[in-house]
Structure 1
Amino acid sequence: MTDRPRRILVPLPDRDFDTTESSVVWDALDRAGHEVVFATEHGAVAECDRHLLGPGWRNPFPAEPAVVATYHRMTASPNFRRPIRYSEIDVSDFDAVHLPGGHSPGMKQYLGSGLLQAKVATFDAAGKPIGAVCHGVLVAARARNQETGKSLLAGRTVTTLIKPIERYAFRRTFYRVGRRYRTYRTYTEDEVRAAVGPAGRIEHGSSWQEPLVVVDGLIVTARYPVDVEAYAERFVRLVENVRSKPIS
């Protein structure tokens, strides 16, 4: 039992974020009695990658039906319908930040936002948990420590969308959807590996189908939707265990 409800920030792009990596974590936080506040670049109501909402020729890896139902509950929630802007993010208003992933083109608005990266860096400086899944780890990798100027992940042990999974998804789907499963020409793992540097490490896990969650201090990372339930449980536990000052 936590001493008080926590307030968690979940930034998103206007479109194309991953259905599972957002809604399953939202549901875990909501069931634990915490408040989730969403943010988009200009305050627009976000929309997930529509290709994940059901099966079809151009929907090679849809979310599970139960996850889609959870997504629709999330999108009907008042806070989802009234997101704040990236520019309005104030670390003193929040206890932690969760960074969902997604691979489709619309994700670049979120993954490449220098403003959002700077805001995420304030959570690190304030000693507040940062959680990230899949491509969401790129936001933390691109954010800079305010004292050293290095990546927030420098010297850390983390995971992300590992190269074998990204390569498999791309090759398996290219003839159906083109480059949708390669957000950038550089593999996600390669960019994150450069961010952690020689003193850090990227965990692959023993199996693609067995959940993997990596915790290094106040940074929690996971690879892709298979990991998300375990990630959500670990993220909630970390958020509740960190002693942070009440939000005024």
Structure 2
Amino acid sequence: MVVTSHKELLNTDSTTGLWIGEFTDPYYEFRDKNYTVVIASPQGGQPPIDPMSKLTEHVTGSNRRFMDDDFAKHALKHTLKLDEVSAADFDAVFYPGGHGPMFDLASSTTSAKLIVEFLSQHKPVAAVCHGPAALLKAAEMEPSILKGKKVTGFSNAEEKLVFRSDTMPYTLEDKLKEMGAEYHMALLPFSSHVETDGLLITGQNPLSAGPTAEALIAMLETK
């Protein structure tokens, strides 16, 4: 799992980072199926957590499980540096969201190369909410990653509803379309929605995090 190291937003003192439920929901989907999970981030160490994701209305069962899981908390606090990992050592990669990836993972050459490596080795790449921002840099290197591919991610409508539009340098939906992707979303904002196209699996929003992980597991098990 690759998480963000970025917490600053534009035009505000509020901070962002990793949306914790988008990490914990998939994390336990993988753990409960006996997959080994290794966590990496651009800077390594403790990633910033979006304070909004810790509010009561956003807390999921996996959040509560995480708070009592010393092993998982230690793993998230001590992420590997992204340049220390190689696709050859793993079966798949998963990018959780939060607004942080829109800044660092969207422009990370190291992350982009990792995604290209996974796909070139015929291994799946999954991302949820703002996690698909990591695909943007990868698609600069290899346009076929997004061009004509069915994808989803946090929508323009959802961005407006969370009042973060003015704090972001761009919107993910628009960028994915600019890169030639065939963007799809749920009929209603904040409904679960997952797209699978070849080795690429994307989820639209926080509610899609668990289902995106389930789709990735299903793909791995068929292999």
Does TM-score exceed 0.5, indicating one fold? Answer: yes
Whole-Å separation in 1 of the counterparts to 2:202 and 2:222: 17
Whole-Å separation in 2 of the counterparts to 1:73 and 1:113: 33
Whole-Å separation in 1 of the counterparts to 2:55 and 2:190: 21
Aligned to 1:218: 199
What CA deviation, in whole Å up to 9, does each residue of 1:108-131 have, x standing for no partner? 233322211111111111110000
Structure 1: runs of 5 or more not aligned:
1-9, 56-61, 171-178, 243-248
Displacement after TM superposition at 1:101 (Å): 0.7
Displacement after TM superposition at 1:31 (Å): 0.1
Alignment of 1:167-186 (within 5 A): 167-170=160-163, 179=164, 184-186=168-170
Aligned to 1:233: 214
Whole-Å separation in 2 of the counterparts to 1:71 and 1:97: 20
Q: From the superposition, tell whether residues 114 and 182 of structure 1 become closer, same or farther in structure 2 (CA, over 3 Å).
A: farther
Whole-Å separation in 2 of the counterparts to 1:131 and 1:74: 24
Q: From the superposition, tell whether residues 112 and 127 of structure 1 become closer, same or farther in structure 2 (CA, over 3 Å).
A: same
Give percent identity, aligned residues only.
23
Q: From the superposition, tell whether residues 183 and 110 of structure 1 become closer, same or farther in structure 2 (CA, over 3 Å).
A: farther
Structure 2 residue 172 is matched with structure 1 residue 191: no
Whole-Å separation in 2 of the counterparts to 1:73 and 1:35: 19
Which is higher, the Rg of structure 1 or of structure 2?
1
Aligned to 1:136: 131
Whole-Å separation in 2 of the counterparts to 1:18 and 1:127: 28
Whole-Å separation in 2 of the counterparts to 1:192 and 1:211: 19
Give the counterpart letter for 1:124 in structure 2: L
Structure 2 residue 89 is matched with structure 1 residue 93: yes
The answer to which of 150-159 and 28-37 deviates more is 150-159
Structure 2 residue 35 is matched with structure 1 residue 34: yes
Alignment coverage as a number of residue pairs: 212
**Matched position secondary structure for 2:23:** helix
Q: From the superposition, tell whether residues 151 and 143 of structure 1 become closer, same or farther in structure 2 (CA, over 3 Å).
A: farther
**Matched position secondary structure for 2:104:** helix
What CA deviation, in whole Å up to 9, does each residue of 1:140-182 have, x standing for no partner? 1321376xx3252111011111111112222xxxxxxxx5x55
Aligned counterpart for 1:154 among listed residues 147, 150, 172: 147
Whole-Å separation in 1 of the counterparts to 2:68 and 2:183: 34
Q: From the superposition, tell whether residues 182 and 90 of structure 1 become closer, same or farther in structure 2 (CA, over 3 Å).
A: farther
Contact 1:132 1:220 in 2 (8 A): yes
Give the counterpart letter for 1:125 in structure 2: S
The structure in which a higher percent of residues are helix is: 2
Displacement after TM superposition at 1:74 (Å): 6.0
What TM-score does the superposition give when structure 1 sets the normalisation length? 0.77
**Matched position secondary structure for 2:38:** strand
Runs (4+) of structure 1 exceeding 4 A deviation are none
Displacement after TM superposition at 1:207 (Å): 2.4
Give the counterpart letter for 1:220 in structure 2: I
Q: From the superposition, tell whether residues 220 and 65 of structure 1 become closer, same or farther in structure 2 (CA, over 3 Å).
A: closer
Q: From the superposition, tell whether residues 228 and 74 of structure 1 become closer, same or farther in structure 2 (CA, over 3 Å).
A: farther
Structure 2: runs of 5 or more not aligned:
8-16
The answer to which of 24-33 and 222-231 deviates more is 222-231
What CA deviation, in whole Å up to 9, does each residue of 1:192-244 have, x standing for no partner? 1111x1xx4111222235421111011111110122222222121112222xx
C-alpha RMSD of the superposition: 2.3
Give the counterpart letter for 2:177 in structure 1: R
Whole-Å separation in 2 of the counterparts to 1:73 and 1:157: 37
Whole-Å separation in 1 of the counterparts to 2:89 and 2:215: 22
Q: From the superposition, tell whether residues 49 and 75 of structure 1 become closer, same or farther in structure 2 (CA, over 3 Å).
A: farther
Whole-Å separation in 2 of the counterparts to 1:26 and 1:184: 27
**Matched position secondary structure for 1:220:** strand
Give the counterpart letter for 1:229 in structure 2: G
What CA deviation, in whole Å up to 9, does each residue of 1:81-124 have, x standing for no partner? 442211111111000000111115x8623332221111111111
Aligned to 1:12: 3
